[in-house]
Structure 1
Amino acid sequence: MAVLTPKFATNDASLLLYAELDEAAIRTVQRQLKAGQLVRILPGMVSASAPDQWPALVARERWRVLAALFPQSVLAYRSAFNGGLPENGEIHLSGSYRRDVELPGLKVVLWKGPPPAPGDLPMQGREIYFPSLPRILLENLTPSRGIRPKAVGKAAVEQRLLAICDARGEHALSDLREQARVLAQQLLLLKEFDILDEMVGSILGTRASQLVTPEGKARTAAVPYDADRVALFEQFAAQLRSTPLQQAPAVALTEQARTHLAFLESYFSNFIEGTEFEVQDARGFVLQGQPILERPQDSHDILGVFHQARDMGWANQTLAAGDAVLTQLRERHTHQMRERPEVSPGEFKDKPNRAGNTEFVSPALVRGTLLQGSQLLPTVPAGMARALLAMFVVTEVHPFADGNGRLARLVMNAELSVVNACRIIVPTLFREEYLDCLRVLTRDGQAQPLMSAMQHIQQWTAAFNYNDLDEVITQMTACNAFERSRSQFKLLFPAPTKVA
């Protein structure tokens, strides 16, 4: 077979396009067609490959094919919005006439529309163009109907505008609107620009909000909130409403037992956050009044949680629904972190915070997200279910610069104390399981692991007698509570107390 010389460098006869060949090469192709050496796929498009290979060829050489068959066309509507990938086996183009063309493995929907405009860029240096962002957004606001409408519609464009604002800032959104204003005149998409103008104005807060998506409504609410987090809270609340949870009754019934349980709760809660002391050292400065000579700030962290776990006013203070939750959490945090002025006790964070790959609610959305989350609390059963939701709301929002995990567990235990249920201690050996379950809920929306884990650890907490602190520390040691490695140790329950 003769070697052909196309305009674009390829000597692969598996897919030949007349638009890429000179006249001599086209005559050679036509002779080879007559000789049965090549097969016509479509007029101007031939191949030496078997028909069952054509869909893969078209997929691999999509831009070559489209540029050759539809020169000077522009990727259009939902195909441009989605980055140029076919959707449901279709790709939309804008050209000088209206036509549908069935290629092997791909349907081309060609719409009559404006030619390439300023800002549209050639794909791979060929005569097919990827539209500018303003053009993409304007075209996708055009009216369209059917099972698979050509335009993605207002909601999808709104979400894209919100994403642009988040990624690049309000200035970039304003610039985009001005570019679209000019382009709309050229493309005759003035009505579409009016819609885009309203949407941008709503996001920037210069107009009354006309936004329709949950994300848009959250952004333009009187107190903006994190729509994704609130949706996760609602999902978790629904699972808590529909899943009966075990609930162990309170076991620390004397003042002495409550003090001992509060000490161990604080000790382990701080250990989770990296404030590590030997338990007897912590016992000395928390319960025996020994002077705090080393690491005074870490010592005060343990004391702050201890006081809120022991004091009945704090221990039974459940979260309110609505505005009062903001004051409650600020007061709790002020008391808890009062010896740590560098973390701004009682002041909501002004910088983003994260743990590993989890980025918590942004500072601007803390208040609104707490308000929205707290309003779900009365909708779930009191006790264990409400305790887990309250803890998760505070954990996910992470409203302060530091102390959030300890605060979340104090909030959780208050919901248990107020219904005379056993408070929860999360021992060192259970730390990773507890955090893993939180990550699964955050990332995958799966609540069952957390619900099961917290019911289990509450039963474990309730298995000890807290009247004798020496005895309970000895028992917890024997149960591996102070160990760290889950691969080497298993958290055990204490042996049942023998009745004389």
Structure 2
Amino acid sequence: MRQTELLYLNAELDRSQQRAVERRVVAGELYRVRSGIATTQPLAEWPPLFKREKARILAALFPKTVVAYRSAFDGIGAQTVYLAGGSYARVMELPGLKVVLSSGPGPVDGDTQIQGRELYFPSTARMLLDATAPGPREDDPQYSRKISAEELEGRLISICDSRGEHAFGQLRERVRTVAAQMNSPKARREELDHLMGAILGTRPGPKMATSQGTGRAQGYDAPRMDLFHKLAGVLKVAGLPHIADVARASPAKTNFAFLESYFSNFIEGTEFEIGEARAIALEGKISELRTQDSHDIKGVFDQARDPAWRARGITDIRAFEETLRERHALMMAARSEVLPGEFKTLRNVAGNTTFVEPRLVVGTLREAGLLMHDVDAGLARALLAMFIVSEVHPFNDGNGRLARLVMNSELSAAGEARIIVPSLYREQYLDCLRELTRSARTEPYIDAMTNIQRWTAAFSFEDLDATIDLMKRCNAFEKSLVKHQLLWPRQSDEPQEATTDGSTAPRG
């Protein structure tokens, strides 16, 4: 026994050590907190000491018990800690700590020791079962351990989203096993099972407590729909510009389609030297070394030029889902491994963003499609459509290119200028999408896209060589924002001034 120990617990000491501690208490060297607990610290230091040594104290005073109810759901950081596994229920007041012990089963399979001590933290399955329990002494809020329906539903959805639906289904089976081990009441077992089934969409569920849960049960991503509704609401009143199509007829239409495909593929990491890409798109010269990448260039180019697809907006909201399938099947026809035209079966992730779960893709697209005609045709509808496809990410690959094709088709359907996102604008473009996804900030997205539409429309696409040369002088093909800024083509001899996004534009 170390003489410099701050806290002495009889449960951790043998008989001789316990007698030594008792002698020191009698001699005034130690303070007795209660039977079985002594410390060198004065009274004022007891609460912070007990907070630091909480796991030790709980394991010593309540061995073979399990953290339960509110403490399992939120963690044991609160002043009141709920435990289960005692032979009888009781409440113990300690310095800065209240322990509420319930009778019932002690540790079962899956519960894990805390700091290697005889104190256990429940498995996720047991924690969820405990969360359905009613709170004792509900007339006295300080003892309440009840988890609200909203909290439980939110936690279940969070687990499903973070682990995936397959793992969530396995957890559901584990809940059933643990419920049998603990002999949990049938009503609680069934309540949790029905709720998990509703979130998985495998059975009709109870009335859900949250909008997110309602969406899951009905087959769509409710938080995404909230985001789409917000964007649609802003777009309705944004007063966006109407810029006429500058490449309506050939050869400008063909030249524009090539540059649109070149830059759209660049955003996704498919990079070609401009001359090689030109031969692929305009002459059909597929690179023998990069066959699939060549078809990616052709896939976007063909839809951007083909009259049947170039101006094919969404005129029937019920066709939104099928139009996306058709477009994707054509665009990715040479990549059989990504299942062209078939919605994803595995979740896809980009950085810290997890897109809509596979099971919710169709429902979310159908709900989102209803918003399409709530906004004006042209740029407003185009920006909404592009973000919906980007955010749902319905396919295994090609989602970004598809989203920009859908956007530009809405613009062409309204006779408005299509948008090219040049290489140097890639980071601004991706950043504004992230801002909208993660922070629901619509302004950066709308500002960035209206700005780049004006930039695109400032070029003449009649002569491809001249357009490429001018775009090079405007730094469109550059990658480093540190070394370059996106310039606008000089339509007059007027001096240039900087815009808010670091590009330059003519005055007036």
Matched, 1:91 2:81: yes
Which amino acid is 1:110 matched to? V
Counterpart Cα distance in 1 of 2:467 and 2:305: 17
Aligned ranges 1:280-291 → 2 under 5 Å? 280-284=275-279, 286-287=281-282, 289=283, 291=285
C-alpha displacement of 1:158:
4.0
- 2:343 corresponds to: 348
Q: Could you give the per-residue CA deviations for residues 282-324 of structure 1, whole angstroms, max 9, x where no partner exists?
A: 444544x475564554444333323322344423222357531
C-alpha displacement of 1:30:
4.5
Counterpart Cα distance in 1 of 2:94 and 2:341: 65
Q: 1:147 to 1:476 in 2, by over 3 A?
A: farther
- 1:217 corresponds to: 214
- 2:129 corresponds to: 138
Higher alpha-carbon deviation: 387-396 or 175-184 = 175-184
Contact 1:202 1:211 (C-alpha < 8 Å) held by counterparts: no
Which amino acid is 2:67 matched to? L
Counterpart Cα distance in 1 of 2:350 and 2:145: 41
Q: Could you give the per-residue CA deviations for residues 36-94 of structure 1, whole angstroms, max 9, x where no partner exists?
A: 43334445433223555444422321111123334454322111223x4223x332223
- 2:189 corresponds to: 193
Q: 1:262 to 1:498 in 2, by over 3 A?
A: farther
Counterpart Cα distance in 2 of 1:113 and 1:296: 68
Counterpart Cα distance in 2 of 1:304 and 1:330: 14
Counterpart Cα distance in 1 of 2:56 and 2:143: 26
Matched, 1:116 2:106: yes
Higher alpha-carbon deviation: 390-399 or 297-306 = 297-306
Aligned ranges 1:36-75 → 2 under 5 Å? 36-51=28-43, 53-75=45-67
2:381 pairs with one of 381, 386, 409? 386
Matched, 1:422 2:417: yes
Contact 2:244 2:415 (C-alpha < 8 Å) held by counterparts: yes
Matched, 1:335 2:330: yes
Which amino acid is 1:315 matched to? R
| Unaligned runs of at least 5 residues, structure 1 | none
C-alpha displacement of 1:367:
1.8
Q: 1:261 to 1:201 in 2, by over 3 A?
A: closer
Contact 1:58 1:65 (C-alpha < 8 Å) held by counterparts: yes
**TM-score, reference length from structure 2:** 0.81
Q: 1:382 to 1:108 in 2, by over 3 A?
A: farther
Which amino acid is 1:141 matched to? T
- 2:228 corresponds to: 233
C-alpha displacement of 1:110:
0.9
Counterpart Cα distance in 2 of 1:44 and 1:143: 33
Which amino acid is 1:16 matched to? Y
Aligned ranges 1:240-279 → 2 under 5 Å? 240-241=235-236, 243-246=238-241, 248-252=243-247, 254-279=249-274
Which amino acid is 1:208 matched to? P
C-alpha displacement of 1:150:
0.8
Q: 1:247 to 1:124 in 2, by over 3 A?
A: same
1:405 pairs with one of 391, 396, 400? 400
Matched, 1:78 2:75: no
Q: 1:358 to 1:97 in 2, by over 3 A?
A: closer
Q: 1:264 to 1:77 in 2, by over 3 A?
A: same
Counterpart Cα distance in 2 of 1:242 and 1:39: 70
Counterpart Cα distance in 2 of 1:473 and 1:209: 58
Counterpart Cα distance in 2 of 1:270 and 1:42: 72
- 1:395 corresponds to: 390
Which amino acid is 2:206 matched to? Q
Counterpart Cα distance in 1 of 2:125 and 2:276: 64
- 1:367 corresponds to: 362
Q: 1:320 to 1:100 in 2, by over 3 A?
A: farther
Counterpart Cα distance in 2 of 1:97 and 1:482: 72
Which amino acid is 1:220 matched to? A
2:431 pairs with one of 413, 424, 436? 436
Q: 1:467 to 1:114 in 2, by over 3 A?
A: same
C-alpha displacement of 1:498:
5.8
- The secondary structure found in structure 1 opposite 2:373 is helix
Q: 1:362 to 1:197 in 2, by over 3 A?
A: closer
Percent identity of the aligned residues? 46
Counterpart Cα distance in 1 of 2:142 and 2:301: 61
Cα RMSD between the aligned structures?
Answer: 3.4
Which amino acid is 1:93 matched to? L
